[in-house]
A and B are shown apart, each in its own frame.
Chain A
Amino acid sequence: MFGSYVLPHVLNVQITETRKEIERPVPLRNIAYRVDQADLGQTVRVSGEIRETTIDGAHAVMQAIRALNSGVDDAFDLEDGETPAIEALLTDPEFILDVESWFNGKYWIAYSLTFLEVEAP
């Protein structure tokens, strides 16, 4: 769930915790100088499917997801009962329309979204 929006039919979640470090190669040494600089927070990649029975329905859900890429951060909760909710920005939405999933009342669109953790307000 992102804010009050429930992402449809989530099939995969990939969480990456990333830190930023400063790296300087040192001449004639076997190991570079590295020092931790900052926490970049979590990057959560969510993949799922829009599953609608009408073209208009599929279009409306895709537009709703696109509208979340607005620069407004919100609470992102996996709702698995364990992973704590984070404050996040939604970025880089992707959609895939496949001919095998687009006929006779089956209008499915695969999507993937990237959530970047930000400081809670």
Chain B
Amino acid sequence: MTTEYENYDGTENSDLIMYQVYWHAQTFTVGATAHTITSVKLKLWKDGNPGTFTVSIRAVDGSGHPTGSDLTSGTIDGNTFTTDGNGAWYEITFTEYTFLANTKYAIVCRALNGSYSPHNDVVWRGVNPGGYADGNSEQSNDSGGTWSDTGRDNAFEVWGNLPVEYINVSESGAGVDAILEVLDGEFINISDGGAGTDSILGVEEWLVITDTGLGTDAILFQGSVLIDGADLPHVQRIHITEPTILSSKPVSGELPTRIWLGKQGRTVEFEGWTDSLTTLESLKAYADGTAHDVWLPDGTNLSVHIIDVSPQIPVWPDEYPYTIHAEERMD
């Protein structure tokens, strides 16, 4: 199930027309959480029959303009759009692509088969002047060669999923499998288009991927380590102990009398690392004396107190190890 991430939907009072070499774009900035994009929704309407409408994602240069080739793209039949000048929301589906956190991208749109006379064009609804702080509307009169700011913002929604981290994939069978993207060594976008057996060689996060061979692969977030619903970063090891409370009295001439009095509850020690000092600080906040809800990778759910959070001296640059000591409490 996909999630809506970035969006802008003000009170539209602007129309931007697209046909042939006249393209329009809307830039936006991914938030602190990296995610993939599976589709965008745009508020559009049409004149005449503009034909296939193409939408893609491109990188943004230092001046805030779209640049480079398409990172991912999708199409929709523009002839099916409403002719109502208020427009309607249309979803354009992409091959899934992973965005980096805190990075600006552009939604680039064109109707290559459209025309000015007779009017066969697609119109993107927007707001003039724009009110979206993390991007702007752009226009190009030369098929995306050069771009300029329109001073407006167009209505858009970006939909996607959380990314999968640190996955090592091997393909040993028939069919077309592709590792689409490796970004910063962290996020890998996997597609399986064919038959045969795929194998996953190593997963350095508590994630599980299933591959059914044919058709669609499912990426399941089963197996994560969660505290209060938030993923604990890069957990490498979990040590669970469950001490027994025992009364033991030595007896001369025979074995001691041992009376089982109960259990102390589980203590759980997490060892992991993070690449962010900010995250490290947020982890320390868990040691606050209140109850926290912990999910272990096997599906066990515990109510715990976080007794201590111990950051360690970095082993590698930008890699800050930590340990978290949690003790089970009566819920």
A residues at B contact (CB < 8 Å)? 20, 37-41, 55-56, 58-59, 62, 66, 69-72, 89, 91-100, 102-104, 107, 109, 116-119
Contact = CB atoms under 8 A, between A and B. Distances in A.
Chain B facing A: main interface SS: strand
Interface stretch (B38-46, B151-159, B244-252): B244-252
B254 A69 contact: no
Contacts of B95: none
B13 interface: no
Given A71-B260, A102-B206, A118-B255, A94 B240 contact: yes
Contact of A104 (B199, B236, B248, B300): B199
A94 B239 contact: yes
A66 B263 CA distance: 11
Contacts of A117: 255
Nearest to B168: A103
Given A55-B298, A103-B203, A91 B237 contact: no
B255 A95 contact: no
A50 B207 CA distance: 19
Main SS at interface, chain A = strand
The 10 A-B pairs of least Cβ separation, nearest first, read A71-B260, A91-B244, A38-B250, A103-B203, A59-B298, A97-B238, A95-B240, A20-B250, A104-B200, A41-B255
Given A104-B200, A119-B254, A55 B297 contact: yes
Given A38-B256, A89-B258, A92-B242, A69 B263 contact: yes
Given A41-B255, A98-B237, A99-B236, A93 B298 contact: no
A55 B208 contact: yes
Contact of A93 (B202, B208, B242, B256): B242
A55 B297 CA distance: 8
Given A39-B254, A55-B208, A104-B209, A92 B244 contact: yes
A103 B200 contact: yes
Given A94-B241, A98-B237, A99-B206, A40 B255 contact: yes
A43 to B, nearest CB: 11
B205 interface: yes
B203 A104 contact: yes
A95 B204 CA distance: 19
A101 B157 CA distance: 39
Given A40-B255, A41-B255, A103-B200, A91 B246 contact: yes
Nearest to A60: B298
Nearest to A19: B250
Interface residues of B, number: 41
A102 B239 CA distance: 14
18 contacts: A20-B256, A37-B252, A38-B251, A40-B248, A40-B250, A55-B222, A56-B299, A69-B244, A91-B244, A92-B243, A96-B240, A97-B238, A97-B298, A99-B204, A102-B206, A109-B298, A118-B256, A119-B255
Nearest to B260: A71
Identify which of A20, A66, A70, A95 gathers the most chain B CB atoms within 10 Å of its CB.
A95
Contacts of A91: 243-244, 246
Given A55-B297, A92-B244, 4 more contacts: A59-B299, A69-B263, A89-B244, A94-B239
A100 B296 CA distance: 16
B185 interface: no
B237 A96 contact: yes
Contacts of A58: 298
A118 B299 CA distance: 35
A91 B204 CA distance: 32
Contacts of A100: 202
